[in-house]
Amino acid sequence: MKNKKWLVMMMVATVVAFSFGIVYKKAPTNQFLGIMNGREPLPIPPLLEDKNPASGQATFHLQAQKSTTSFLKGMETETYGYNGNYLGPVIKVRKGDQVSMKVKNELGDEQTTVHWHGLEVPGDADGGPHQPINPGEVWSPQFTIDQQAATIWYHPHQLHKTGEQVYKGLAGLFYIEDEVSDRLNIPKDYGKNDFPIVIQDKQLTDNGDIPYQLDMMDLMHGIQGNTILVNGAIDPYLEVPKGKVRLRLLNGSNARIYKFTLNDDRPFWQIGSDGGFLEKPVKMNKIILGPAERAEIIVDFGNDKVGQTIDLVDQEKNVMSFVVKDEVAKKTEIPSKLTDIERIDPADVTTTRSFTLQGMGPMVNINGKQMDMNRIDEEVPFDGTEIWEIKNSGMNHMMGRREMNGPNGMMGGRGMSGPHPFHIHGVQFQVLERNGTVPPANEQGWKDTVLLFPNEEVKVIAQFKQKGTFMYHCHILEHEDAGMMGQFQVSD
């Protein structure tokens, strides 16, 4: 009865809100508007990399800890971070490395985990809810890097607490390099022409806090903030050399979907998606990223004047600025070809599974079931090849759907259930179809998260090469925490 009452309340609230044109985005504070006069440079996370790459052995230490951060000048708020006050270092490894992680939980009295999002590792090293780290304890997973060069990331995956812990700052990027990335003459000098860009939104209060307090709309659609942060800074600027610059974009928000453009509508080239390089660069002037999705893009500032400012924009809202400095970038190129992607053959498929994402608020579910740690929802054979058909049931008769327009589409209404980014642990997959047609060019590489707007259907194919228990779920973190998640077991 309680769930039915919640559902009725939320449906009524949604209908009323859309009828009166209400936008579920709280107004910015006066302090936020004022800080635009004192912009700060983009913070660049420290880089952790193997000190002896020839050995093939790499050990990294992470500490999840509480601290404070000043998002508004002179105002401190409690945040979480890895090895620091907010976010974490960029971890850099090579394909073939034997990696040892030492992760210590210094969050006080709460458990946490660290999930290597996009990494193909055994289930007991995946860092999902089955690997909790108790306060004061150290988790020491070991695994081999056995996948192509890519920009992946890490974040907590604590049962029912993922949204809060990520929102407070626990996240970081994880780079894999290989012989292909070595060979390509693309920007690759960290912090000089190759930059990590972690984009998040927060509900910033007048006193500079980012409290994680969910209201009814947050439960329905995921928390939506009034302030965008880039690497933990509000509307920062980045000095870039004249020439080509590589940006590794991560949508690290709990729920927000971004449509990025440059304010002068100049083109850029996408060279990579979640799981690595595309076969060839895709020229575009806008890109949509759902929560957890990544994109590597190259922007050419070679013809800009010194001091010229170019803005990265999300639907007319400034995210950050690039300021061209009096320095010529190392000569690089946008290759006509990046890599060869071995296509998974649908003829090898032995099983096709269907997943329907549906419900709203506390009733979100997949195939009518909510997460149960004691239940395995799907049994997947080791080394099997499968097609997963994923559908966002939508309930979207009121608000319309995304209308495709070129390689990325245009965003439409959120619908009563809204968009759902679907993530599968332990694998990188290939998108076979989007709404019955060939996916856009920038979705034809390796992916681990795919965004579905209401009433959309996506068909993906994957080979399951790691054994263990893994999650599949909506990556709107409030939906995940509410139960929009299932488990699959990979075994002989």
Residue ranges covered by each domain of the chain: 2-28, 47-183, 194-328, 346-491
Distance of CA 485 to the CA centre of its chain: 17
Contacts of 186 (CB under 8 A, 6+ apart): 244, 246, 271, 298, 332, 333, 334, 335
Q: What is the pLDDT of residue 416?
A: 54
Q: What are phi and psi of 6, to 5 degrees?
A: -60, -45
**Residue whose C-alpha is closest to residue 15's, from 463, 436, 413:** 413
Q: What are phi and psi of 481, to 5 degrees?
A: -65, -30
Q: What are phi and psi of 203, to 5 degrees?
A: -90, 90
Interstrand relation of 57-72 and 98-106 (parallel, antiparallel or unpaired):
parallel
Structural contact between residues 176 and 145, judged by C-beta atoms closer than 8 angstroms: yes
Q: Residue type at 54?
A: A
- Cα pseudo-dihedral 124, 127, 132, 133, rounded to 10: 110
Q: What are phi and psi of 261, to 5 degrees?
A: -140, 170
Interstrand relation of 351-358 and 385-392 (parallel, antiparallel or unpaired):
parallel
Q: What is the pLDDT of residue 171?
A: 98
Structural contact between residues 271 and 354, judged by C-beta atoms closer than 8 angstroms: no
Q: Is 136 left (phi over 0), alpha (psi -120 to 50) or beta?
A: left
Structural contact between residues 460 and 431, judged by C-beta atoms closer than 8 angstroms: yes
CATH architecture assigned to 346-491:
Sandwich (2.60)
Query: Rounded CA gap, 423 and 431, in Å?
Result: 13
Q: What is the pLDDT of residue 395?
A: 59
Which residue, chain included where needed, has tokens 């400034």?
318
The CATH H-level (homologous superfamily) assignment of domain 47-183 is: Cupredoxins -  blue copper proteins (2.60.40.420)
Q: In 3-state terms, what secondary structure has residue 180?
A: helix
Extract the tokens encoding 226: 């009034």
- Measured between its terminal Cα atoms, the distance across the chain in Å is 42
Interstrand relation of 365-366 and 309-314 (parallel, antiparallel or unpaired):
unpaired
Q: Is 414 left (phi over 0), alpha (psi -120 to 50) or beta?
A: alpha
The CATH H-level (homologous superfamily) assignment of domain 194-328 is: Cupredoxins -  blue copper proteins (2.60.40.420)
**Residue whose C-alpha is closest to residue 43's, from 89, 92, 110:** 89
Extract the tokens encoding 289: 């990223």
Q: What is the pLDDT along the chain (492 residues), one digit of tens a residue?
A: 445 444 444 444 443 333 323 233 333 333 333 333 568 999 999 999 977 777 788 999 999 999 999 999 999 999 999 999 999 999 999 999 999 999 999 999 999 999 999 999 999 999 999 999 999 999 999 999 999 999 999 999 999 999 999 999 999 999 999 999 999 999 999 999 999 999 999 999 999 999 999 999 999 999 999 999 999 999 999 999 999 999 999 999 999 999 999 999 999 999 999 999 999 999 999 999 999 999 999 999 999 999 999 999 999 899 999 999 999 999 999 999 999 999 999 999 999 999 999 998 899 999 999 999 999 999 999 999 999 999 999 754 333 334 333 333 334 333 456 899 999 999 999 999 999 999 999 999 999 999 999 999 999 999 999 999 999 999 999 999 999 999 999 999
Contacts of 33 (CB under 8 A, 6+ apart): none
Which residue, chain included where needed, has tokens 């060939």?
438
Domains 47-183 and 194-328 share a fold: yes
Query: Rounded CA gap, 313 and 254, in Å?
Result: 19
Query: Rounded CA gap, 318 and 421, in Å?
Result: 24
